[in-house]
Structure 1
């Protein structure tokens, strides 16, 4: 579906990401190996798996923060050799600068993207409006709730117009109600500003709510992380599909 948006807040189109025989490791230990995966432009791909199977390591490699020991990671067909403004990383810890207001944190992302100073304030305020925080523009992070800080982080991540948003359990520390609100906000914002989303979670219900596809990571006999399966989520999705999909994912886990 094609929609016209205000150029102040429109995000760039999604980025195609590919992993070809990727092996990741550190301190002489292999964390992940034989990872072959294509991530379509504009989809939400969710990574699930038990603790220690390499989900966060894979996300950091996609961000360009960890170089593979083998294989290749490609963004639109070109090797990923380091961080890029086109690939934004969002952590569970909101990582906001404590001395900057909500608006100031978003303006910094715009500054790094090269947006002229005269435009930054207006754009930052528009993003805060989109995530429902316009009245809190001048609040410092310490004066915001956990859910509000995550909203600011989401706005900051998208304000830089990334083509891929890489999210490492961003809602894991939130209470159930706030988490559900953030899930809805993420989907609504993603629909308005198409980008590729790679989302890490331990929560299968969250994965089934958000994902177009779910990549299941597990461990082989040597305790090295491997890709077990990629599960397609029906479109449109219905609650009736969820038990069977959950059971399928649990079997792979």
Structure 2
């Protein structure tokens, strides 16, 4: 304990020193940016983006946007700022910048890009890189951000069907629909474990009605067959079983 007490001031001093250096560097960077004109700032931001330093690019673009909000570069600065925030993993800042751009420039030629980036950002917010790397299945996590992304892509396709981003947006919507369907199946299985068979069957039927073009339809039908059997609803069970047999003849529920 004595050695720890002797070491603690040294460690604390080092931490303060590092923090001081970091603060000093930030202040120096702000001073450098303050002395630059609009074109110089933009060139600096582009250089940062070219080498993949999007965090630095975002800082420069944010300073440029604040100082010259109505300059000749303002629209491009905001679009580059959206991308730099996105690449830096700053989802909240990305969404805020996108929403401001759309609100202030509803007729701009790149509004479709803004909606596309909004969808990408919300998809990113729904993912969990650690769980994906560890192959952890968390399909039961809240899908609200995926729903937001789906709506962003839907709006893009509806308002700008000829957009160069429309094809990719449609592909991503299919992926999101499968994600939402898997969530419904996960909740349905939770209800099955709780013997809440009415709720489980309703979740299965919801998948059939809203996500019929996903990979989860077979599981939805199997849940419905099992739930209706537990509830003694023979006619509904037979209807679900008939549909299951017709579309998925190899299902283990068919015997």
Whether TM-score is above 0.5 comes out as no
Q: Which has the higher helix share?
A: 2
Which structure's CA Rg is the greater one? 2
Greater relative contact order (Cα 8 A, min sep 6): structure 1 or 2? 1
